[in-house]
Each structure stands twice: as structure tokens, then as C-alpha cells.
């Protein structure tokens, strides 16, 4: 072997193939003064080789050389890698080592084992310890005896519930959930219009408790929220109850295990809970939107923690919300709506679709105030048992929506300010009109919920909905 050529083997005792090639390793050690074995689990393996064996239990050498399989044989020329082979292939070991009869008497081929450096959960630790993790956000150091969870509270990074401290390792894992660059700027977050990168999204997704596979949904939700027609800044600063409601459609919802069934609008599902929370934490921690400061809600509501669920798409005869909003079937989307809490709706007696449509209209007419009109949008979350009444009659999404909207029309004389002894109401000039509760695009219908219970839900919209073309729900495709 030339003077500038050196060989190295990466191995571990726990690998049967590494034990198989022990005689080969000894042959290489005898013929090359610069030969090294980097042992990943036992500094005495192979035994009796002395300084030839380098203790690599901390895996710095394995990480630095990108080792994925053991045994791996590498040839270096003047310190530069020129050849490598993984596992045991006698022809390859002879080629890399330059020894024509190496491995006589051993099997021709044996697969290797996974390097410890690529074990699940370990690779990110090694990247932080030995490499450049690629994180550029300002890092906050805590003292050895500080409680990171309490420190997050003290620094105002929490929504009032415990958050997961965003360590480098957790952020790196979160970033593995998307193909987008950590430094890519997603947008500027109100109220401070602070620049938000994919990395900062990941940090807040960690704090919210997300899994890495949720990242594409969180990113799509944030992009939807930043569209001008969503008016996130106004939604943040309003004195009303409203906050973003996220509805997820398509394969992505099923892939990450979102809940569209029993208790879909409630607690208990990690994806539902943490995706919506991540968006809220981004607004808080990146944009500076904190209650009592830019957030001026008179009372607020639980949706300011999180409000996110998936639509039930199990009935092939139902047109999903994403399709109704212009996307092809099978495309994963998020739809963001400026809404408030759940208004329960009960009708256990209507069995004809016309009856149920009129009954639902009565519930919808009550949102905000029974005498207001065309100041809010609404989402109707149609439960399986109520939907079954419409489906049995052959009513599709369009028919259900048009019949309900028609049933919300009322005489203006009943709604004008002062009518029925109530000061609230529409202008007196509309007394002779037939007044609909909503604009024609003011009602969205989604399916969700458990199989038992003749209950549906109404999610009232922000009263700024009177600015019809300036304030709109937004739907975005979920991309990797």
C-alpha cells in the first residue's frame, strides 16, 4: 500500500458480520501501521489490537464519516476518502484494501447491521453535538438548575398551558416533517409584522406538542392565515370572540390521524389539538399577539387556544368542503375560518329534510343576535344522524345549503331596530324587505361527529363579515 494510503473499519461487537470479519480486521492491522478500527459499542472489540482500536462509543467518528452500515471499510489517500464498501463483500473488500487474497475461507457475502449513529432518535443528537444543526434562531440558554417549562411561562412564551421546551434536537426532528428549507420565510406575522421562517414555525410546533408529520398542515394553515382576505391582524385585535378555525380535508388528515368523528370538536386528539395551538403560538411568539396587548377580546373563547378538526369524508356521495371550494378530490387542504365557539343545535323530532332545513335555519338565525343580518358567516357542522335525513332524501351539499339559506329569510319589519321592543336590529329602511341572514356565500357546511345523537353544531363567524369581500375564509393546499 502506498505511503499516503490508510484504511479504517467502522464496526461494533453487536454485529454478527463484524464478528465474522474479525480475522480480516487482524490481517489489515498487521499490514498497515496507520490502520484504525472505530468500535461503536466496545473499546475492546476486536480484542488485543491495542491502539489500533479507537473507542467511538460517543459516535463522533461515525457521524463525521456518515457511517450508516457496519462493518464499513474506507480507504483514504492523503487524508481524502477514495473508496468505501459496506457490509461484507469479499470482492469489494479486496478492491478497497488492495489485498488480492483478503478474506480467504470466509463466505462471499454477508449483509451488515445498522450503524449506531443512525439509530432512531440518535441521529439528531449527533447532529447537534458534532455537526452544524443549521438552526439560526436566537438561542436562549438556561442555568443548570432552571426548569425550562417554568422559564417558558416566565418569558411569556406560553398560552397559559404547559409548552414543550424547543431544544435543538426537537426542532431538528420537527423540521424533518417538511421538505422546505428552515430559512425559508413563510411571511410576516401580525401585529408586529415579524418575519417568520420555517424554522420558527417548527419551534412553535414543538412548543405546541406537534409531531413532525403535522408540519405541512401547520405551514399551510399559517400561509392561509397570512392571506390578506383572512385579515389576521384584525381578527387578532377585535374585541369579538373570534379566532382561526382550521378544517382539514383530504389524505393528509387521515395520514396524521386527525379526528372527524366522536368528539371531533373537543379534546383528546393530538393532531387536532396541537395544529391549531401551533398557529396561535406563532401569532403570540413571533408576531407579538398577546391578550391584553394587541389581542383586545372582551371575553375571548376556548378557540383562542386551538380550534382544528377534520371533515368526515367517509361518504363517497358527499362533496367535501375542499371540493366545494375549488380543489380536486384527493387533494389535501386546510380551510381557515374566522369563527367563535360551538353553538349546539338540537332537533330530535324533524324527520323530513324540509323540516330539518327550516329547523337548522332557526338555529342559524340566532347567531350574533336574532335581529342582525348579513354581518356574519357561519359554519354548520352536520352530524351523521342529521346528515342521514338529508342523504336519504337525495339532498346533496348544494341542495342542503340552498334550502337552509332560503329558510333564513325573514320579514325586515321583524328585524329593524326597535322591533319587538329590542333596540338591536337592522336599519328601518329595510322594514319592507325580505332579509336573508347571510349573503349567498355566507354559509359553509362540513360533516363531522359521532354516529349517535341528533345534534349538530353551528360555528358563528366574526361580525366583521359584513365586509363581505374584504373578509373571506381561505383554503390552501397542503404541500410537503
Per-residue pLDDT tens over the stretch 212-260: 999 999 999 999 999 999 999 999 999 999 999 999 999 999 999 999 9
> Higher model confidence: residue 33 or residue 333?
333
- Mean of the per-residue pLDDT values of the chain: 95
Work out the end-to-end distance of the chain between its first and last CA atoms, rounded to an integer number of angstroms: 49
Section 51-75 average pLDDT: 97
Structure confidence at residue 3 (pLDDT)? 53
Per-residue pLDDT tens over the stretch 93-106: 999 999 999 999 99
Section 403-427 average pLDDT: 97
Task: Say how many C-beta atoms besides its own lie within 10 A of residue 114's C-beta.
Answer: 14
Per-residue pLDDT tens over the stretch 261-304: 999 999 999 999 999 999 999 999 999 999 999 999 999 999 99
Report residue 4's pLDDT band, with 50, 70 and 90 as the boundaries: low
Domains of the chain: 5-121 (3.40.30.10), 132-306 (no CATH)
Task: Say how many C-beta atoms besides its own lie within 10 A of residue 268's C-beta.
Answer: 10
Structure confidence at residue 133 (pLDDT)? 82
Choose the weakest-confidence range: 26-30, 139-143, 355-359: 139-143
d(CA 97, CA 92): 8
Structure confidence at residue 1 (pLDDT)? 46
Instruction: Cell 329547523: give the residue.
Output: 359
The set of cell numbers assigned to 381 is 357542522
Structure confidence at residue 324 (pLDDT)? 98
Choose the weakest-confidence range: 29-38, 85-94, 414-423, 431-440: 29-38
d(CA 260, CA 264): 5
Extended beta strands in 87-130, E state: 88-89, 109-110, 113-114
DSSP state for residue 400 in the 8-state scheme: H
Picking from 97, 94, 109, 88, the residue whose alpha carbon sits closest to that of residue 29 is 97
Cis preceding-peptide flag for 182 (omega within 30 of 0): no
- Against a cut of 0.85, is the pTM above it? yes
Section 361-387 average pLDDT: 97
Structure confidence at residue 121 (pLDDT)? 86
Section 461-476 average pLDDT: 90
Which residues, including other chains, have CB under 8 Å from residue 415's CB and lie 6 or more apart? Answer: 371, 372, 373, 425, 426, 430, 435
Structure confidence at residue 166 (pLDDT)? 95
Section 343-371 average pLDDT: 98
Per-residue pLDDT tens over the stretch 315-326: 999 999 999 999
Structure confidence at residue 438 (pLDDT)? 97
Estimate to the nearest angstrom the gap between the alpha carbon of 78 and the chain centroid: 47
What DSSP line would sit under 358-383, residue for residue?
HHHHHHHHTSS-TT--SS--EEEEE-
Amino acid at each position: 500500500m502506498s505511503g499516503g494510503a490508510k484504511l479504517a473499519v467502522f464496526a461494533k461487537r453487536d454485529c454478527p458480520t463484524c464478528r465474522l470479519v474479525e480475522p480480516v480486521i487482524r490481517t489489515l492491522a498487521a499490514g498497515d501501521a496507520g490502520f484504525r478500527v472505530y468500535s461503536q459499542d466496545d473499546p475492546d472489540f476486536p480484542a488485543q489490537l491495542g491502539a489500533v482500536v479507537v473507542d467511538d462509543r460517543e459516535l463522533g467518528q461515525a457521524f463525521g464519516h456518515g457511517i450508516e452500515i457496519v462493518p464499513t471499510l474506507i480507504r483514504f489517500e492523503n487524508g481524502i476518502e477514495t473508496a468505501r464498501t459496506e457490509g461484507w463483500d469479499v470482492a469489494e473488500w479486496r478492491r478497497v484494501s488492495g489485498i488480492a487474497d483478503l478474506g480467504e475461507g470466509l463466505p462471499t457475502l454477508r449483509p451488515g447491521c445498522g450503524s449506531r449513529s443512525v439509530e432512531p432518535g440518535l441521529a439528531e443528537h449527533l447532529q447537534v453535538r458534532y455537526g452544524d444543526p443549521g438552526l439560526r434562531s436566537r438561542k436562549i440558554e438556561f442555568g443548570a438548575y432552571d426548569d425550562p417549562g417554568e422559564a417558558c411561562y416566565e418569558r411569556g412564551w406560553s398560552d397559559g398551558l404547559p409548552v414543550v421546551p424547543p431544544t435543538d434536537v426537537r426542532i431538528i426532528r420537527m423540521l424533518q416533517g417538511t421538505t422546505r428549507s428552515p430559512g425559508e420565510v413563510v411571511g410576516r406575522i401580525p401585529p408586529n409584522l415579524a418575519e417568520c421562517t420555517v424554522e420558527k414555525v417548527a419551534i412553535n410546533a414543538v412548543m405546541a406538542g406537534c409531531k413532525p408529520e403535522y408540519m405541512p398542515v401547520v405551514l399551510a394553515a399559517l400561509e392561509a392565515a397570512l392571506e390578506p382576505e383572512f385579515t389576521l391582524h384584525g381578527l387578532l385585535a377585535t374585541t369579538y370572540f373570534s379566532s382561526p378555525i382550521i378544517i382539514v380535508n383530504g389524505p393528509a388528515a387521515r395520514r396524521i390521524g386527525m379526528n372527524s368523528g366522536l368528539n371531533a370538536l373537543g379534546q383528546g386528539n393530538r393532531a387536532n389539538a396541537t395544529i391549531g395551538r401551533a398557529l396561535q403560538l406563532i401569532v403570540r411568539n413571533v408576531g407579538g399577539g398577546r391578550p391584553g396587548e394587541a389581542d383586545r377580546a372582551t371575553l375571548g373563547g376556548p378557540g383562542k387556544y386551538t380550534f382544528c378538526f377534520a371533515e368526515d369524508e367517509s361518504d363517497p356521495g358527499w362533496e367535501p368542503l375542499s371540493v366545494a371550494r375549488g380543489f380536486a378530490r384527493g387533494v389535501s387542504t386546510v380551510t381557515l375560518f374566522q369563527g367563535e365557539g360551538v353553538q349546539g343545535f338540537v332537533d330530535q323530532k324533524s324527520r323530513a329534510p324540509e323540516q330539518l332545513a327550516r329547523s337548522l335555519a332557526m338555529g342559524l338565525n340566532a347567531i350574533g343576535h336574532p335581529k342582525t343580518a348579513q354581518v356574519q358567516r357561519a359554519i354548520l357542522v352536520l352530524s351523521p344522524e342529521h346528515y342521514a335525513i338529508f342523504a336519504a332524501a337525495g339532498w346533496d351539499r348544494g341542495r342542503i345549503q340552498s334550502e337552509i339559506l332560503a329558510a333564513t329569510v325573514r320579514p325586515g319589519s321583524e328585524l329593524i331596530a326597535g322591533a319587538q321592543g329590542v333596540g338591536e336590529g337592522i336599519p328601518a329602511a329595510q322594514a319592507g324587505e325580505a332579509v336573508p341572514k347571510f349573503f349567498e356565500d355566507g354559509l359553509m357546511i362540513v360533516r363531522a361527529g359521532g354516529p349517535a345523537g341528533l345534534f349538530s353544531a353551528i360555528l358563528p363567524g366574526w361580525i366583521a363579515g359584513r365586509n363581505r369581500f374584504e373578509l373571506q375564509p381561505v383554503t390552501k393546499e397542503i404541500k410537503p
